[in-house]
Amino acid sequence: MYELLLAGIENVLQMKYFVPLALGTLVGVVGGAMPGITNTMTVIMVLPFTFGLEPLQGLSAMIGVYIGGESGGLITSCLLGIPGKPSSIATIACSRTRGLAW
């Protein structure tokens, strides 16, 4: 069982899969931090760039965009009190209750 887990981690850490994952995460964070841009919109904007990639490279890029978008929406919520995406509204409510928002 652990052999399969280690083989999967070894595959993800190969440069041809890790680079699209890292770039997708960066794009997702930027897209998630922009107010009004959701994860779905960010994935749709990045989707044409993945057509030229191998299937696993494109999938790793899309995973990076999704995870980066989920994390990027919290940046503006915590720092500025503006929801980066609709699901970040709860973060604003919690930070205002504790006096953390500006």
CB-CB contact of 92 with 81 (8 Å) = yes
Going by C-alpha positions, the residue among 58, 91, 62 that lies closest to residue 74 is 91
Q: What is the pLDDT of residue 92?
A: 77
CB burial of residue 71 (10 Å; 0-12, 13-18, 19+): middle
pLDDT digits (tens), the chain, 102 positions: 899 999 988 988 899 999 999 999 999 999 988 888 888 899 999 999 999 999 999 999 999 999 998 888 888 887 877 777 777 777 776 656 655 545
Give the largest CA-CA distance in the chain: 49
CB-CB contact of 88 with 76 (8 Å) = yes
Q: What is the pLDDT of residue 50?
A: 92
Output the CA torsion 22→67→10→52 (10° steps): -60
Q: What is the pLDDT of residue 73?
A: 81
